[in-house]
Amino acid sequence: MKEITLKSPLDMHLHLRDEEMLKLVTPLTTQTFAGAVIMPNLVPPVDTLEALVSYRERITAALGDDVFKPYMALFFRDYSEAELAAAKDEMIGIKLYPAGATTNSEAGVKALDAVEPTFKMMEEMGIPLMVHGETHGFVMDREKEFLASYEYLAKKFPKLQITMEHITTADAVDLMGKYENLRATVTLQHLIITLDDVAGGMLNPHLFCKPIAKRPEDREALLQAALDANPSLMFGSDSAPHPLSKKECCGCAAGVFTAPLALARLAQLFDKHDKLENLQDFVSGNAQRLYGITPLEKKVKLENTPFEVPSAYTGHGQHVVPMHAGETLDWSVTHIS
């Protein structure tokens, strides 16, 4: 029997949605994670302090007695200095979406150079920037094409802490190491799948997300960086629940729902590669250092005993299919304290 006890695991990129979906999915993260960065792409987006505080209250109500801190993020727009000053202590950072790049991003940024005054203020005030780094180019090249923008921002604003969210390419792994102020999150699915798993055989809508999974060599580079607990890399699930009717349809929504199985599947993956000792830094230590946060105390014990992933999670009138639905994982969460 093998086991590992993780201290205060953190999910640095999470979608909890709102209303009934929020009520269903929030506990599926808050049971096992000590905290998570909550994405602000609601409709309308979370782009005022008032909206952020009220969203945090709805999350807090949904998590019950779980030991968990929601690290709130604002949706990027042109903010005034007064707005930033008022919101600074209530949030972990601001999330930038290029307009139209993904789910609920219509209100995003159309041109990066037009919003540089906000970047400058964020840099001066020590507010981190989180970025969905994709252009509107050919789907397999969108992240690669965006890397020049990351590099431009990293150089022009050297004190601005920039997180390249959910990286999917070997090129992004390389870039991450080049600038002290560039760091990244990576999802579970991008460590495991390639485009082949999404569309190489029968189409699998439950593995369709943005950025789309890339080539085997990209997955290899991401996996190596995660297994090594590369100090610039953090776990961010990008767990993004959509109702079954929005996934198994024509015009499938982007998003993979991994929250309930994320830690068990990560333990299985790190164990397979004999790197269990690096999982703590990947799921907590690196994020603590990079964001300067001290999470709530929580211990999550995992053992290599089977975990049957449900075919769906239901409740509050919702029905969501997770990654690995109906499959049996080799590892499971066995104790939380």
Residues found near Zn ion in the complex (CB under 5 A): 238
x-marked contacts with ligand DOR along 44-83 as a string, rule CB under 6 A: ----------------------------------------
Q: Is the peptide bond before 306 cis (omega within 30 degrees of 0)?
A: no
Exactly one of 4, 38, 192, 209 binds ligand DOR (CB under 6 A); which one? 209
Residue closer to ligand DOR by CB (options 248, 308) is 248
Nearest distance from C-beta of residue 201 to Zn ion, angstroms: 26
Rounded alpha-carbon distances, angstroms, from residue 53 to 60, 91, 105: 10, 9, 21
Q: Which of residues 272-331 bind ligand DOR (CB under 6 A)?
A: none
Rounded alpha-carbon distances, angstroms, from residue 261 to 104, 125, 265, 267, 302: 25, 37, 6, 10, 12
Closest CA to 4 of 289, 250, 295, 284: 284
Exactly one of 164, 223, 240, 287 binds ligand DOR (CB under 6 A); which one? 240
Exactly one of 32, 103, 237, 258 binds ligand DOR (CB under 6 A); which one? 103
Give catalytic status of residue 274 as yes or no.
no
Q: What is the DSSP letter of 296?
A: P
Tell me if 95 contacts ligand DOR by CB under 6 A. no
How does strand 328-329 pair with strand 307-308?
antiparallel
Q: Which of residues 114-173 bind ligand DOR (CB under 6 A)?
A: 132
Q: What is the DSSP letter of 283?
A: I
Active-site residue, from 11, 47, 218, 238: 238
Rounded alpha-carbon distances, angstroms, from residue 310 to 202, 313, 321, 322, 324: 21, 7, 8, 8, 8
Tell me if 255 contacts ligand DOR by CB under 6 A. yes
Structure tokens that stand for 70 in this block: 């929601």
Residue closer to ligand DOR by CB (options 193, 300) is 193
Residues in contact with ligand DOR by CB under 6 A are 15, 41, 102-103, 132, 209-210, 240, 254-255
Known catalytic residues are 238
